[in-house]
Amino acid sequence: MAAHPAEPHNAAGPACLLLHFADEAAPAQRLAHAAGLTAKEIDRHRFPDGELKLRLPVDAAGRLPPRAVLLRSLHDPNEKLVELLLAARAVRSLGVQHLTLVAPYLAYMRQDMAFHPGEVVSQQVVGGFLAGLFDAVVTVDPHLHRIDTLSQAIAVPQALALSGAEPLADWIAQRRPGALLVGPDGESAQWIAQAAARHGFDHAVCTKVRHGDRDVAIELPPLNAQGRAVVLLDDMASTGRTLALAARLLLQAGAASVDVAVTHALFAGDALQVLRDAGVGEVWSTDCIPHPSNTVPMAGPLAQALRQCSVSS
């Protein structure tokens, strides 16, 4: 992954700790370096029956500093929500007065309304849960489709939503100058607009109808893809079916190549193979979710957001 130049600087105030779990040690070190924080690991033990026990990195007096940041990217979210509950409640009794969640990927944001009677609106439930645990939340491209701001989903004093669109656009401009940028569905229009505005890419957005988890129908917009290097840009790829179908249609329309850039590399199951089978060339992503496709680091922008939290709190 390309290194991100960052001046060591304590972005969240003096003696602020960056707490993390073992599986996110690498991104925690990158963020700690960019933000000038000290990263410390939360020890996690899983009992034979599946319950979790956490041990927090307290000082010799058994205390934590008044300010702490907890890094947890919420892909594979269900168990992590329990970790957040345990850790965030416990740090308060150990001295933490201000706790920021940095969740580069924020789960449960897509179910933002009851599409059928009785469906749980997960965005509201999980948003309310996180608001009860944290004073500030920082995330990246949280898939806010029917609401305008992150604070409408997570009502904390500071709720900051960054975007991967511009850093991804910078990467695309280096690797595919003159690319035709295509969004696979209406929801991607916001990221396509940001990326295109930054580098003047030609751009267009498809229309999509979802029939099931792995079943989508896509229509290309009026565009001339003949001979063009196309880059599909979206906030996330989960099963990969959306991007795969869009890629097939673009190649049928004469595109010379189709590459993919996403903020969140969920890539569930056979998603990457599905993209390859559809003729996709390169797959690029931010490091919001650790994945072999990561090419665009977000530690710099996340550190900048932590400075904002520090300034106004």
Q: Is 187 in the site for ligand R5P (CB under 6 A)?
A: yes
Strands (E), the chain: 17-20, 38-41, 43-46, 52-55, 67-71, 98-103, 136-140, 158-162, 180-183, 202-205, 207-212, 215-219, 229-237, 257-265, 283-286, 294-296
3-class SS at 170?
helix
Q: Which stretch binds ligand R5P (CB under 6 A): 29-37, 63-71, 232-240, 283-291?
A: 232-240
CB atoms within 10 A of CB 47: 8
Q: Which amino acid makes up residue 12?
A: A
Q: Is 234 in the site for ligand R5P (CB under 6 A)?
A: yes
Q: How many residues bind ligand R5P (CB under 6 A)?
A: 14
Q: Which of residues 203-222 bind ligand R5P (CB under 6 A)?
A: 216
Q: Is 242 in the site for ligand R5P (CB under 6 A)?
A: yes
Binding ligand R5P by CB under 6 A: which of 241, 260, 272, 303?
241
Q: Which stretch binds ligand R5P (CB under 6 A): 22-30, 40-48, 218-226, 238-246?
A: 238-246
Q: Smaller CB distance to ligand R5P: residue 237 or 309?
A: 237
Q: Which amino acid makes up residue 245?
A: L
Q: Is 166 in the site for ligand R5P (CB under 6 A)?
A: no
Binding ligand R5P by CB under 6 A: which of 239, 285, 293, 310?
239
Q: Is 240 in the site for ligand R5P (CB under 6 A)?
A: yes
Q: Is 237 in the site for ligand R5P (CB under 6 A)?
A: yes
Q: Smallest distance from the beta carbon of 134 to ligand R5P, in angstroms?
A: 25
C-alpha–C-alpha distance, residues 168 and 295, integer Å: 9
Q: Smallest distance from the beta carbon of 194 to ligand R5P, in angstroms?
A: 14
C-alpha–C-alpha distance, residues 137 and 107, integer Å: 13
Q: Is 278 in the site for ligand R5P (CB under 6 A)?
A: no
Q: Is 75 in the site for ligand R5P (CB under 6 A)?
A: no
CB atoms within 10 A of CB 51: 9
Binding ligand R5P by CB under 6 A: which of 24, 83, 170, 185?
185
CB atoms within 10 A of CB 37: 27
Q: Which residues contact 296 (CB under 8 A, 6 or more apart)?
A: 1, 2, 164, 167, 168, 170, 171, 284, 285, 286, 287
Q: Is 294 in the site for ligand R5P (CB under 6 A)?
A: no
Q: Smallest distance from the beta carbon of 104 to ligand R5P, in angstroms?
A: 16
Q: Smallest distance from the beta carbon of 198 to ligand R5P, in angstroms?
A: 20
Burial class (CB in 10 A: 0-12, 13-18, 19+), 160: buried
Report the number of secondary-structure helices (H) and strands (E) in the chain.
Answer: 9, 16
Q: Is 112 in the site for ligand R5P (CB under 6 A)?
A: no
Q: Which stretch binds ligand R5P (CB under 6 A): 40-48, 50-58, 219-227, 239-247?
A: 239-247
CB atoms within 10 A of CB 311: 11
Q: Smaller CB distance to ligand R5P: residue 164 or 240?
A: 240
C-alpha–C-alpha distance, residues 189 and 254, integer Å: 22
Q: Is 163 in the site for ligand R5P (CB under 6 A)?
A: no
C-alpha–C-alpha distance, residues 298 and 304, integer Å: 10
Task: Give residues in contact with ligand R5P (CB under 6 A).
Answer: 184-185, 187-188, 216, 234-242
